Homo-oligomer: A and B are copies of this chain.
Amino acid sequence: MGGESPPRRIRADAERSTARILEAAEAVFAEDPAASLERIADAAGLARVTVHRRFASRTALLDALAEQLSQRYLLGLAEARVETAPPLVALHRLTEIVFDLKLGHRFAVQLSAALTPAVVDGLDLLFARLRDAGAITAADPAWCRQVYLALLHEVYDLPAGSPTLTSAGAGDEVEAKVNLLVRTAVGALGGSSDTTGVALDR
């Protein structure tokens, strides 16, 4: 049954369209998960018909988005050296990376499909190592994941001039958010703030 891929060349043009659509979808869905495809098409500067050409159905678009998201998470986990670096450092770095992705996390969290088994495994490993290192006391990896992601979500859309944020030090706003998130997550998972300070104050 060899359904050879027909001589269908995917023009570079079209591929740019898909990219623009995914980008727009990420932004639009972030603030309204029920947004219509037309709104996304507008945001992408394309016609609604084109969206339907690149993605057979709405769910196909959603799936592609989840896929892309999952890939980024995986890449982030790799870049953060979750397996080898000192766990607190890895946590800090991972958070940094995720923030840089500027993902619409309200969407991402809601779309649990982005949490591929591979991604979950990566996070679980990170938290297991954190616990072994004594940075946190919570044992249940699922719980750690939930808490981390929830707090990530909250920190992400924290207003820029928030007192909490400015008091978090670090001139860079993103860096302040990262510090806040790491400190809060570790605290939530039963870590002693001492350990945090030792490893991260600098």
18 contacting pairs across A/B (C-beta < 8 A): A139-B167, A140-B162, A140-B163, A142-B162, A143-B158, A143-B162, A143-B163, A146-B154, A150-B151, A150-B153, A150-B154, A184-B188, A185-B188, A187-B187, A187-B189, A188-B188, A190-B193, A192-B193
The answer to whether the Cβ of A164 comes within 8 Å of any Cβ in the partner chain is: yes
Task: Say yes or no: A139 contacts B151, CB within 8 Å.
Answer: no
Separation of A140 and B167 alpha carbons in the complex (Å) = 10
Q: By the criterion CB–CB under 8 Å, are B188 and A151 in contact? A: yes
Chain B residues positioned under 8 Å from A167 (CB to CB): 139-140
Interface of A is mostly: helix
On chain B, the residues within 8 Å of A98 by CB distance are none
CA distance A184 to B188 in the complex (A): 4
Copies in the assembly, this chain: 2
> A191 to chain B: which residues have CB within 8 Å?
187
Across chains A and B, which 6 residue pairs bring their CB atoms closest together, nearest first?
A188-B188, A140-B164, A143-B164, A187-B187, A140-B163, A150-B150
Q: Say yes or no for A34: interface residue by CB 8 A criterion.
A: yes
Known: A139-B167, A187-B189. A147 touches B158 (CB 8 A): no
Q: In the complex, how many angstroms separate the beta carbon of A118 from the nearest chain B beta carbon?
A: 22
Which chain B positions have C-beta within 8 A of A154? 146-147, 150
User: Is A174 an interface position by the 8 A CB rule?
Assistant: no
Interface set, chain A 152-202, CB cutoff 8 A to B:
153-154, 158, 162-164, 167, 183-185, 187-193
Chain B residues with CB below 8 A from A142, complex form: 162, 164
Query: Which residue of the partner chain B has the closest CB to A106?
Result: B110
**A138 interface residue, CB < 8 Å from B?**
yes
CA distance A12 to B147 in the complex (A): 45
Kindly state the separation between the CA atoms of A113 and B162 in the bound complex, as whole angstroms. Answer: 21
Interchain nearest-CB distance for A185 vs B (Å): 7
Q: Which residue of B lies closest to A184 (CB)?
A: B188
Cα-based distance from A189 to B184 in the complex (angstroms): 6
